[in-house]
Amino acid sequence: MDTKEKILITALRQFNALGTDAVTVRSIAQEAGISHGNLCYHFPNTDAIIVALYQRVVAEMDEQANRALHLLPEVGLMLGIGEIGFHILYRYKFLMLDLVRITRRIPLIQEAYRSLMQLRRQQFTQLFGAMADQGWLLPEPFTGFYEHFAAHQLVFAHGWIAHAEIHFSGPPEAVVPYYYKSFVAGLLPLLTEQGRAVYAQILHSEPINHHFE
């Protein structure tokens, strides 16, 4: 593992455990076992580290979004990919927990995040429209409904980690499956009989085990 990767892994652990306000370049350097100067050679401050981690999680989520768009005929597989996305978000949970603080502090992330949410809303709308075309979802009750529903689902996707941090009391490995099933439950009133059969499989499935190195 090179020094830059060691810094990012250490910073991610500290950000997740302590929040972005409590972490310093010195605390990261100390845990990573490198000098303060060596760390600053790669990242001049914690904001630069946050930007690098933000870009990393976006790249990982983009990969899953593209996979889902190519698996529309296989809705069960597509929804399984959605759960992987929740695992990725939880791995970088500090970004969701400190999102407002981060976007106010780092204009680069604020601009990038706004553009990303426009793209995600378009992707979700495309997914829902294609699922309706495939017979998994009911037709739109009015024009533009699935675009509004996409926005609704994104609000859930961005808020569940904060909710879990305060309210969830189950074992750590159950956090993501619980909230992902809650997320998918939002689709239930919109599912056709064909779609409900897939939903029932997901509802009663065992949690998917994901291990991140």
Encode pLDDT of 76-131 as tens digits.
Answer: 666 667 888 999 999 999 999 999 999 999 999 999 999 999 999 998 898 888 88
Mean pLDDT throughout 51-66?
93
Position 26 pLDDT exceeds 50: yes
The least confident of 49-53, 66-70, 98-102, 205-209 is 205-209
Which candidate, 108, 69, 74, 98, places its Cα nearest to that of 85? 69
What predicted TM-score, i.e. pTM, was given to this entire model? 0.88
Q: For residues 195 and 62, which has the higher predicted lDDT (pLDDT)?
A: 62
12: which 2 tokens? 């991610």
Mean pLDDT throughout 208-212?
38
* Beta-carbon count within 10 A of 154 CB: 15
Mean pLDDT throughout 31-37?
95
**In the prediction, which pLDDT does 70 show?**
73
**In the prediction, which pLDDT does 128 show?**
87
For 153-158, the CB contacts below 8 A with 24+ separation are 153/124, 153/183, 153/186, 154/117, 154/120, 154/121, 154/124, 156/182, 156/183, 156/186, 157/86, 157/89, 157/183, 158/96, 158/99
pLDDT tens per residue across span 170-192:
898 999 999 998 998 888 899 89
Q: For residues 78 and 142, which has the higher predicted lDDT (pLDDT)?
A: 142
